[in-house]
Structure 1
Amino acid sequence: MTLPKHVKLVEVGPRDGLQNEKETVPAEVKIELVERLAAAGLPNIEAASFVSPKWVPQMATSGEVMENLRRRPGVLYSALTPNMKGFEAALAARADEVVIFGSASEAFSQRNINCSIAESVERFRDVARAAKDNGIRLRGSISCSFGCPYEGEIAPDAVADVVRRMRDLGCDEIDIADTIGVGTPGKIATVYEAIAKEYPLGQLSGHFHDTYGQALVNIYAALQVGVSIFHASVAGLGGCPYAKGATGNVATEDVVYMLDGLGIHTGVHLDQVVDAGQFISRQLGRKAASRAGNAIANRRAG
């Protein structure tokens, strides 16, 4: 078995991680978090979400955050864009990449964005075209790829169908997300083997939540089938507002610790990611949800 020699990590803490925080996180704190993560070597950071503040109040400062960031050369700064209004805001904010999103579950699609899977993909056609016209990278994200809070088990063929639709929109990368964290290693392998027939494996990523404590072993299972892009959230921030009981994304510190131990190159400096995780956790007034991060911080303090 040969594991990838290099893994690209996509940091989602500043967007997916913070979007559910009830207390408003000031723009200057978000900016410092993004800058710390970029300095730590993370090559792709979800920094903003141009959705209606009515639905996601925490992201209302996205324009301010993007405008005031000190950008590091070579880092992709991404923004979630649900429609053309969001895309225009992302374009004005000089986002390097825009993210469109759908679901592998019809029930979740209806609950999350009030339309069918087919309708959701159709809605993104104009965004996809505009991204291409403006030379902006386009990423697609597919939620509930391994299980749904309303439908239960999701068939690999259902995921493959949405991958095909995202591919046909011209996505440069497609995220396969375990939104409620129910996936296990065997299911991970089965789904990626199915979707790799529709889209290059090297452009597929894994976005795993740790609800059932399976995120790291699921990343390892995905590595075994050749996946080399993974999402992680500093300090284990985040959840899903439409999936009851879904806890945070896998912690970036834990993923980097594991990949370092496997000898897989990420270009990410673990100590600096730990610092970023401890920083945002202090700002939020709680302990980080990263085991490796907290262990390293405690060892330093010891």
Structure 2
Amino acid sequence: MTVDVVEVGPRDGLQNESRTLDVETRVALIDRLARAGARRIEAVSFVRPDRVPQMAHAEEVLDALPSLPGVDLIGLVLNRRGAERAARTRCTELNMVVPVTDTFAERNQGAPTAVLLEQAAEVVDVARAAGQRVSVTLAVAFGCPFEGPVKADQLAPVVEAVLALDVDELAFADTVGVGVPPQVDALAALIPDAITPPRLRFHFHNTRNTGYANAWAATRLDLSRYGGRVALDASVGGFGGCPFAPAATGNIATEDLLHLLRRGGVAVADAAPHDLGPLVDVASWLSERLASPVQALLGRAGDFPSGERS
């Protein structure tokens, strides 16, 4: 069992904060995360700046980044237009978001789920033509703030439609932090045995203090069908939230997640750092610039054992 940790701090960690960071600071954040050991970073989002001003100037951020050998840069997109912008950049991967309920889809992206699935097919075409990998994240898969619980018979056709697109990775997102561990198993089981599945990823928020339990449940799945590995999104410092989800709070924190995985004997891909101090330092640095408190706990309690090597 191996876990890939996807650092989403520069995107999801910033998009719901009241303070908007300038390009130079966002570049510094990505660079600091790479130096702290992050190897898959969701760096930018190609969205309308009038709706999410924290994500404006995506191209400028990417252009200003230093060389980051061995680091994959992910760009989040909501439609073909965003994908076409991303295709002209140094992103190595595009991540298309498709909410699984029509109400959330309309509020987040201005179109129902069925229309967004059609746009996802276009995004895949754009990414393939540009030589980029492509993933689809199914938002509010664990529950919707407007429509309530999402039943399997509602979600299954969406999963089937995405799998038909031949994406590189499928992600289930607990966008508003309502998920519990049994749902992790139930969502993974929606992928039919007859289909060769893509890589599997989960995106958890800790809104109701279940994010880390859900992450642990994902590491307990039978991953033999997925190449023996799963990916987990996390945000340095636990920052994050969705601007279009009421009361949405932060993601699970990268440093807390890595501590859990390491102490639990779960292998992390790309030689994740044993010394989590640099990530704690990045979280503190970011907190000062956002004027927002760190949500992660590792920086308060300290690593255990101190300076552990495993």
TM norm structure 1: 0.92
Q: Which residue of 2 aligns with 1:76?
A: 72
Instruction: In structure 1, give the amino acid aligned to 2:299.
Output: G
Question: Which letter maps to 2:248?
Answer: A
RMSD across aligned positions (CA): 1.9
The DSSP-based 3-state class of the residue aligned with 1:17 is coil
The aligned residue for residue 25 of structure 1 is 21
- Return the match for 1:263 from 265, 286, 292: 265
Which ranges in structure 1 are unaligned for 5 or more consecutive residues?
Answer: none
CA deviation after TM superposition for structure 1 residue 200, in Å: 5.3
**Alignment partner of 1:234 is 2:236:** yes
Count of paired positions: 295
Unaligned stretches of 5+ residues in structure 2: 224-229
User: Could you tell me whether the CA contact under 8 Å between 1:81 and 1:99 is conserved in 2?
Assistant: yes
Amino acid at match of 1:57: P
Which amino acid is 1:38 matched to? Answer: A
Q: Shift of the alpha carbon at 1:153?
A: 0.9
CA–CA separation in structure 2 for the residues paired with 1:273 and 1:149: 31
- CA change 1:87–1:160 in 2 (3 A) is same
Is the 1:159–1:195 contact (alpha carbons within 8 Å) kept by the matching residues of 2?
no
Name the SS of the counterpart of 1:16 in structure 2. coil
Alpha-carbon displacement from aligned partner over 1:177-209 (angstroms, at most 9, x marks no partner)? 001111111222222222364765661111011
Q: Which 10-residue stretch deviates more, 188-197 or 216-225?
A: 188-197
Q: What residue is the counterpart of 2:291 in the other structure?
A: 285
Where 1:15 maps in the other structure, the secondary structure is coil
Q: 1:85 Cα shift? A: 2.8
Tell whether the 8 Å contact from 2:78 to 2:109 is kept in structure 1 after alignment. no
Comparing 287-296 and 255-264, the one that deviates more:
287-296
SS of equivalent residue, structure 2 residue 12 = helix
Q: Which has the higher helix share?
A: 1
Q: Which amino acid aligns with 1:16?
A: D
- Paired residues for 1:199-214 under 5 Å: 203-214=199-210
Distance 1:77 1:70 in 2: 12
The equivalent position to 2:95 in structure 1, one of 83, 94, 99, is: 99
How far the C-alpha of 1:17 sits from its partner, in A, is 1.1
1:13 positional shift: 0.7
Describe how 1:113-262 pairs up with structure 2 within 5 A: 113-195=109-191, 197=193, 203-226=199-222, 228-262=230-264
Tell me how far apart the structure 2 counterparts of residues 123 and 153 of structure 1 sit (CA, whole Å).
25
Partner of residue 276, structure 1? 282
- C-alpha change, 1:26 and 1:116, in structure 2 (3 Å) is same
189-198 or 162-171: which moved more? Answer: 189-198
Moved more, 25-34 or 123-132: 123-132
Code of the residue aligned with 1:249 in structure 2: it is: N
Distance 2:192 2:5 in 1: 20
> How high is the sequence identity, in percent, across the aligned residues?
37
Q: Which letter maps to 2:27?
A: I
Instruction: Report the counterpart of residue 40 of structure 2 in structure 1.
Output: 44
- Is the CA contact 2:79–2:116 (under 8 Å) kept in the aligned structure 1? no
* Contact 1:189/1:222, CA 8 A, preserved across alignment: yes
The one-character-per-residue Cα deviations of 1:201-259 (angstroms, maximum 9, x if unpaired) are 66111101101000001111111114621000111111111211111111111100100
- Tell me whether 70-79 or 80-89 shows the greater mean CA deviation: 80-89
Q: Could you tell me whether the CA contact under 8 Å between 2:3 and 2:219 is conserved in 1?
A: no
Deviation of residue 110 (structure 1)?
2.2
Question: Where in structure 1 do 4 or more consecutive aligned residues deviate above 4 Å?
Answer: 198-202
Change (3 A) 1:30 1:199: farther
**Partner Cα distance (1:160, 1:293) in 2:** 40
Note the C-alpha offset of 1:167: 1.9
CA distance in 1, matches of 2:15, 2:5: 20
Equivalent position amino acid for 1:273 in 2 = L
In 2 relative to 1, CA 150–69 (structure 1 residues): closer, same or farther, beyond 3 Å? same
Match of 1:71, SS state, is: coil
TM-score by length of 2: 0.89
Larger CA deviation: 172-181 vs 69-78: 69-78
